[in-house]
Structure 1
Amino acid sequence: MTATEILRLDSVDFVRESRQILTDINLTVHAGEHWALIGPNGAGKSTILSMCGAEKHPTRGFVHVLGHQLGRVEIRKLRESIGHVNPRHPLQSALTVRQVVLTGATGTTELMNRWEAAPDILARAEYLIEMLGLKELDSATWPTMSQGERGRTLIARALLPDPPLLLLDEPSTGLDVAAREQFLETLDHLHRSQADLATVLVTHHLEELPETTTHAVLIKEGRVLTSGPAHDVLTTELVTESFNYPIQIEYRDRRWQARADRMLNWQLLEA
């Protein structure tokens, strides 16, 4: 691996219950790159992300995460160096923002019994709470927080161990328009303030991509249709092929927009 290579999938296949989920997946992510993993429901995006997070192993091929090959590394230790933001975080307890963030040090959903955070961890938690605009939520608890507030809290939790890799699995799920925009502003700020952090974000809505997205990969039926710089990948032609539906892509004010291409759709119907 090169010094800046964070993640590499080589000729990866994944089979579940005799069904081929992924076929010949190749992907390389370097430090400071911000990737969007895009495709229709059922295309295999979440399965790819689970391998990036060392949660699943390939049936065939090789996955290298942070210089370690899956199958030849202690998984629990590796996962401590990977930040993972999942809007479906299963927490049920009334933990405060600070307590939720601190669970990132142990990789648990709840606070561990008799565990006490070291001073450097407490200082890191305070820094992240401040950076992500959560200071005013000191008295809020998980059940009373909005989905947007939870999203920012989960980013702080994921960043607590200062990981070189951050994975975001459809992080805008459940957000209204205002909360989504605030969340994307948070991601842009994060990308600009931590130059070496690599991120992989899964979505099927191009409107949910932050301005700082650098690269994209389009998935179709468990295969990589194309990957590379975001502006080369997120085109009308390629997105239409990935989703198997005529979609017009526009890039305005540093953001992507997608809508049905009615003219092309009528042409297809009349053909």
Structure 2
Amino acid sequence: MNPIIDMQNVSWKRQDKTILSNVDWKVFSGEHWAVLGLNGSGKTSLLNMVNGYIWPTRGKISVLGHPFGKTDIRELRKSIGWVSSSLQEKIVDTEYTEAIVVSGKYASIGLYENPTNKDFQKAIHLMEDLGCSHLEGRTYQTCSQGEKQKLLIARGLMASPDLLILDEPTNGLDFISREALMVTITRLATQENAPTIIFVTHHIEEIIPVFTNTLLLHQGEVFDKGARQEVLTNERLSHFFNRNVQVEWHHQRPWMTLRD
């Protein structure tokens, strides 16, 4: 079975500065991964590489069974849904919600094609699945931050991707909105034929049970990877953060505090 993501000894330099170094990472079908790291750890660069926006200085990459260098990256991106804060900033405030979702079919910011009624029906169905169908007919600027994130996830699902990347989707959300989004992601991940999900965060309590595996990224290097309960331990995370931390599990979710 081909991995969904296969990175072998991948490094990337920018202006003689090493951003990613010797990354080995495989993600298989049926797995959902959380990527955990502090700001500046290389998480966004890793995602840009999976999407083919940057090319490795060294190493090999294959995504969805397509090796880089032998693949039309623009076509490959149509099978990858990507939700990020930077995407949210590019959406026009006066765009209607259902048009935003439909634009995901074409991987465009704004709707410049001629979608069919079937496309709009699918968009509404996705909005229903994600608990935001009440936003139909409204403009983007009238939506709350949590509603906007749900719309962008629906947009990411519009092309029925095999891989869905959620890049710190809880940024800017209050506690209630964040927990509501976690419920939505759980429901999405447990649906039949759900895409493989990569969830990027720097808060370990967001690594909910559906994320079976965790990758720890530190200063551009893979610090640890594997089953989340084996990775998210007091010892490993204290070493990872270079601080003495305590991890406690509640309802199968890890919560971390600093220890004296």
Give the CA RMSD over aligned residues: 1.3
**In 2, Cα distance between equivalents of 1:18 and 1:50:** 18
Structure 1 residues 84, 12: CA separation in 2 closer, same or farther (over 3 Å shift)? same
Whether the 8 Å CA contact 2:98–2:137 is kept in 1: the answer is no
Q: Which moved more, 1:205-214 or 1:173-182?
A: 205-214
**In 2, Cα distance between equivalents of 1:171 and 1:210:** 14
Superposed, 1:85-100 pairs within 5 Å as 85-88=83-86, 89=88, 90-100=90-100
State TM-score, norm by structure 2: 0.95
Question: Partner amino acid for 2:66?
Answer: H
Superposed, 1:239-254 pairs within 5 Å as 239-254=237-252
Which one of 155, 166, 169 corresponds to residue 168 of structure 1? 166
Structure 1 residues 191, 176: CA separation in 2 closer, same or farther (over 3 Å shift)? same
Which one of 37, 40, 43 corresponds to residue 42 of structure 1? 40
Following superposition, the deviation at residue 69 of structure 1 comes to: 1.4
Whether the 8 Å CA contact 1:148–1:175 is kept in 2: the answer is yes
Structure (1 or 2) with the larger CA radius of gyration: 1
Superposed, 1:1-271 pairs within 5 Å as 2-3=1-2, 5-88=3-86, 89=88, 90-112=90-112, 115-262=113-260
State TM-score, norm by structure 1: 0.91
Following superposition, the deviation at residue 124 of structure 1 comes to: 2.0
Post-superposition Cα deviations, 1:15-46, rounded to whole Å, max 9, x if no partner, equal 01000111110111111211011111111111
Q: Which moved more, 1:117-126 or 1:188-197?
A: 117-126
**In 1, Cα distance between equivalents of 2:82 and 2:229:** 26
Identity %: 34
State the aligned residue count.
Answer: 258
Following superposition, the deviation at residue 141 of structure 1 comes to: 1.2
Post-superposition Cα deviations, 1:92-127, rounded to whole Å, max 9, x if no partner, equal 231122011011011111111xx2213442332122
**In 1, Cα distance between equivalents of 2:194 and 2:128:** 20
**In 2, Cα distance between equivalents of 1:85 and 1:194:** 21
**In 2, Cα distance between equivalents of 1:93 and 1:195:** 32
Question: Partner amino acid for 2:236?
Answer: L
Extract unaligned runs of 5+ from structure 1.
Answer: 263-271
Whether the 8 Å CA contact 1:11–1:60 is kept in 2: the answer is yes
Whether the 8 Å CA contact 2:247–2:255 is kept in 1: the answer is yes
Whether the 8 Å CA contact 2:4–2:27 is kept in 1: the answer is yes
